[in-house]
Structures are given as C-alpha cells and as structure tokens.
Amino acid sequence: MLTDLFTPSVLRSLDLAGIFVFAISGALLAVRKNFDVFGIAVLAEVTALGGGLIRDLIIGAVPPAAFTDFGYFVTPLIAASLVFFLHPEVERINGAVGVFDAAGLGLFCVAGTTKAYEYGLSLTASVTLGVATAAGGGVLRDVLANEVPSLLRWDREIYAVPALVGSSVVALLVHFDALSGGTSALAALLAFALRLCAMRFGWRAPRAWNRRSTAREETEGA
Amino acid sequence: MLTDLFTPSVLRSLDLAGIFVFAISGALLAVRKNFDVFGIAVLAEVTALGGGLIRDLIIGAVPPAAFTDFGYFVTPLIAASLVFFLHPEVERINGAVGVFDAAGLGLFCVAGTTKAYEYGLSLTASVTLGVATAAGGGVLRDVLANEVPSLLRWDREIYAVPALVGSSVVALLVHFDALSGGTSALAALLAFALRLCAMRFGWRAPRAWNRRSTAREETEGA
Amino acid sequence: MLTDLFTPSVLRSLDLAGIFVFAISGALLAVRKNFDVFGIAVLAEVTALGGGLIRDLIIGAVPPAAFTDFGYFVTPLIAASLVFFLHPEVERINGAVGVFDAAGLGLFCVAGTTKAYEYGLSLTASVTLGVATAAGGGVLRDVLANEVPSLLRWDREIYAVPALVGSSVVALLVHFDALSGGTSALAALLAFALRLCAMRFGWRAPRAWNRRSTAREETEGA
C-alpha cells in the first residue's frame, strides 16, 4: 500500500538529498577537528548513513540499505570531496548548510517512520525510529569526534522536537489512512520549517528545574 | 521449558523495575551534564534499554523487545519526568538510587543470560550477554555523555563482577537442570548483594601490576 | 566455491592470530588509561572482536562468530592476562605490537571482505565491510576509552589506506575469479607491508586544503 504512494525513484532522490546534506555536516566537523582526508570521508559516511543503519539493524532489514545501494555509498564521498577542496567556501555558507541539514532532518524522519511501519512495527516504535533515523547519524558523528552529542545539549537549538513532530504527523496520517506522497511531503516540510524557526529564533528546550542557579559552575567545570 | 518457569507477567514486571531504575541513573547523569529535557529523556531511554538492545541485536531477536513492548518504551519516560521535576529530591536519595541500580544489575544479568540461552547460544556466550545486558546500558550512557565508562574505571567499585557472578550462577543452574523461578531469584539476589557490598565496602578491582608508581601522573594527565 | 579455498581450520588460525594482536593493543590502551583488570579484559575483547561483530550484524550473520566460537572469546582474555602481568615488557616491545597490529589489519581486511562477499553483498559493500572489520575494533576501543579514534586523526600514520588496498585487491581477485588461499595471502601481505611502511616512514594522509595556516589554533584549542 505504502509502496504505491512513494515510487522508489522519488523516495530514493529524497533520500540521496538528505544523505548529501548530512554528509556535508559530518565532513565540516571533521575539517574543524583537523582530521585527515580519510577521517573526513569516514565521518561523512557515518553521519549520512548512521541513522538509517541503526534503523535497519533494529527492524531487521539486513543488509541495510546503506550497503545495498551504491548511490547511498558514493553520495557522502562526493560531499566529502567538496568539503575537502572547498571547505572555506562551504563554511562561509554555513547558514545554507544549516538549512540543508534541516531539510535532511525533515526527509529522514518521514522516511524512517514510513520504513519502520512497513516492516511491521507499531506506530509508537515507528515514530521513535523516525526520530532515530533523523538524529542517529548526528549522534554517531559527535561520538566519533569525541564531543557531547549536540542533540543532547541544552545550549543548542532543539533538534529532536521537529523530528518528533514530523514523525508523529506521519503516524497520525497512517492512523487515519491519509498517508500519500503529498501528505508525507507536508509532514517533512513541517519538520523542516520547525527546525528553521528553532535556528532562527533560538528555540531551546528547558533544563531540569532549579538548575539555573547551579548551571554556571557546571559550565565552568565542563 | 524455561518459559514455563518464568511466567511472562513475572518476567515483565521484573524487567520494568530494572528498566525504571536504570533510567533514573541515566536521567540523573543527564541533569548533572546540564542536558535539556529531551537529552534527559534520550539518556534515560538509552541507559534503560541499551543493554537489552545490544543483546537482542546479537542474538537476532529483531525487532528488539525495546521496540515491541510499549511499557518498555514508556517506563524510562516516567523516570525521566520524575528526575526532571524532582531531581534535587532524587539526588538526596542517591544512596537509594545506587541500591535500585544494584537491583537492576541483578535482574538484568539473570534475564539477559536466560534469554540468550533460550535463543540457542552456548552457556559461555549466554553469560557474556547477561553481563552485556546488565552493563551495556550504562556504557552507552557514559559514551553518549562523553565520559569514560565507569564500568572500566579503576576508581569505581566493581560492577562487572557481580553481574558475572549472577550470570554464571544462572549458567550453572541451567547446566545442572536446576533453573526455576526461585533459583533465578536467588541468582539475582546474589548479584544484588555483591554489588551492595562492593558499594558499601569500596571493593575495587586491581589495576595492572607495577602501575601504582606511575598512577599519579596518569591521573594528573587525564 | 570460496569455502573450498579457505579451509575452516586455516581461516580460523589466521582469525585467532589477528584477534590476539588486536586484543593486545586494546589491553595496552586500557593499562595506559589506568583501567582495572576487568576494564582491560573488556577493552581487549571489544578491540579484538568489535570489527567482526559490526560486520556480522550488518550482513545478518547472527549470532555473530564472536559469540559462537569459544576460541574467539577466550583468545582476548589470554592477551589481556599477558598484558596485565607483563605490560612493562609488552610496552618495551611496542614496536613489535605495531607489527602484530599491522598483521591483524592485513588478515582482517581480507577475511572481512571475503565473508561479506560470501553473504551476497556487492563487491563495493564487501570492500567497505573489509575495512570496517579491520578498523572497527580500534574505533570502538578509542570511543570506549573516550579518545578521538586514531583512525581519523591527521597526526597518525595511515591505517585505512592499507586496509582499503588489501580489501580492494580481494575484490579484484573475486572479479577476475582468481581468489585462492595463495592470492588471499598475498593481499593480506600487501596490506601488512603498506601499514609497516606507513609506520616506518611516517606516511600521513593530507588534511583539507588551506588548513595549514589555521591548524595551529585548532591544536591549541583542542
């Protein structure tokens, strides 16, 4: 049923676009961390494909799409090459990278939720895996770069919430039998727009209550 | 055979209790690291479900229980909410949290060993996976929080040994065909008691020989 | 077909040798990080078996070989014991450890590529998984020890390239139907020799262009 709505070629083009922009963010962090050219390629691959890889291992879709589709494998290498040769230019358009990353977030949370549901998981689990698909690559990227995942940090704009909203809308669409190519695109657009607003207006999620007073020492100690 | 001894409802209640206390420990670390509310929820989920997730991926039980049982998913969220609103009170009973974590350790090493054996693994592999179930969530928690896993550190009380003892007792019980609900509970109690003693009396495992003289510089350099 | 060329006993002996030397490198890092005896054992196991574990999860070979072969499990423990009691002597022959690690690199990239291909993956995916088998354990080792993976760092001799060359030669041999025990050994030897040369002559991979001028501040800031 669902496979009718998303023709493989449309899904794949969207996936490749998301993979490309996530790979850019991984490669840029690798350049900032002073990694060599292979470190840049590895971090681009892991950032771009890590979220989908985690999802595929959990739903039992082995070998994962990352290893069966040559385009999935080669796209991060193209992004890594671009960053390797042109990174000052790419850095200069860092705002643009943020926009692309937000687009990838929207695409991946919708694609991840849909794929998990197609593999028979419950709607709750599908929403969780949609968020994991969108955010997992970035978490792996930060772990490999030996940094605290920006997903978890209080001083970064919200990332999980837009993915959660996008995935939940897909779940609602499935529940009311209203999932189509068009409504999926709307869900992805909603997540995209929320993430853009979060970046533009500095939306942050609250920390635990009563933390304000002790936050300063924490930051100093970090 | 084994499934007769553990009625699903008993096993599940024990699992949920273990999940809850592990989630508390993850949420508390997230508060200490100054993560936002979603970081607290993510670290609670990963700490509580990570060990079982690793076990299920390795034994081929996909989708893992963490994604098929709604109670498994929602319990860490309840723990995260409690810590979010009441963390000063939870911190104050930090000793109690240590006791609950020890209980989770006992429950998870027994449940992990039993499940791995039911999936056809050897007794040695089942013991290893029992320890991984009990300790894996905490390792993932520390990796995500960008800290050296306390499981590995010399200056923390032993954690792997109680799990190893509990899992090994289960393996012996299976070998002598004496595994029952009662004997399993005794194995879990033994691991629980060992961990409590380790915390109470500061039991630590030795470092490599001849390290004492050079340990000071290592600590300073860290 | 391939299984004729590699008799199980030959493959297994080579695997155990590679596992042993990787475990030594994990145990040595654990000693340097001041971990206790169980931390040393865990890091030895993870370094030795992590790469193969990742590969087996991805190709769907569950339970992974690490959990079905008792020799795979016990070999890292022997290496960990050796390092625990004799680490000053092992450190003194650190050059020898580097040589053994290079041998493990050669063996694992060939074994990983072959196994992935036998499980039906494409040649490109098999090469990627060969590199992941050879380098994955070391990456997990560094992540658990809370260090930037030396695989990614600019100031370390190249590690991925020898593995990539060894895996690619295996892929070419498969493509031209020339894979045999002898030609596989040559591929492993080639990767081994390249890694030795990289260590001997300080071969490093380039960083991104125009980074030289800003590298100093990065290093200071790190």
Q: Which residues of chain C lie closer than 8 angstroms to A42, CB-CB? A: 151-152, 160
Q: Which residues of chain B lie closer than 8 angstroms to C35, CB-CB? A: 152-154, 207
Residue B218 lies in a domain: no
> Considering its fold, how many domains does chain C have in total?
1
Q: Which residues of chain C lie closer than 8 angstroms to A73, CB-CB? A: 124-125, 128
The winner for highest mean pLDDT among A97-111, B116-130, B143-157 is B116-130
Peptide bond before B149: cis, by omega within 30 degrees of 0? no
Q: Which residues of chain A lie closer than 8 angstroms to B68, CB-CB? A: 121-122, 125
Name the 3-class secondary structure at A93.
coil
A197: domain range?
2-204
Residue C218 lies in a domain: no
CA distance A39 to chain C (A): 4
Q: Which residue has the higher pLDDT, A97 or A176?
A: A176
CB contact under 8 A, A38 and C124: no
Q: In this predicted model, what pLDDT tens digit does every residue of A42-80 receive, in sequence order? A: 999 999 999 999 999 999 998 998 899 899 999 999 999
ipTM reported for the complex, 2 dp: 0.86
The pLDDT value given to residue A218: 44
CB contact under 8 A, C151 and A57: no
| Token output for B5 | 């001894």
How far is Cα of residue C36 from the mean position of the Cα atoms in its chain?
24
Q: In this predicted model, what pLDDT tens digit does every residue of C96-106 receive, in sequence order? A: 778 878 888 99
Tell me how far CA of residue C15 lies from CA of A46, B42, C11, C21, in angstroms. Answer: 26, 37, 6, 10
B191 with B147: CB under 8 angstroms?
Answer: no
* pLDDT over 60 at C212, yes or no: no
Query: Is A212's Cβ below 8 Å from some Cβ in B?
Result: no
Residue C83 one-letter amino acid = V
How sure is the predictor about A205, in pLDDT bands with cuts at 50, 70 and 90? confident
Peptide bond before A63: cis, by omega within 30 degrees of 0? yes
Residue B22 lies in a domain: yes
Residue B169 lies in a domain: yes
Q: Considering CB atoms only, which of B40, B57, B144 is closest to A208?
A: B40
C22 with C137: CB under 8 angstroms?
Answer: yes
Residue B221 lies in a domain: no
Average pLDDT score over residue span A142-169: 91
Residue C103 lies in a domain: yes
Residue B215 lies in a domain: no
One DSSP character per residue, chain C reads: -HHHHS-HHHHHHHHHHHHHHHHHHHHHHHHHTTB-HHHHHHHHHHHHHHHHHHHHHHHT-SS-HHHH-HHHHHHHHHHHHHHHHHHHHHHHTHHHHHHHHHHHHHHHHHHHHHHHHHTT--HHHHHHHHHHHHHHHHHHHHHHTTS--TTTBTTS---HHHHHHHHHHHHHHHHTT---HHHHHHHHHHHHHHHHHHHHHT------TT-HHHHHHHHHH-
Residue A24 lies in a domain: yes
Query: Is C98's Cβ below 8 Å from some Cβ in A?
Result: no
* pLDDT over 60 at B214, yes or no: no
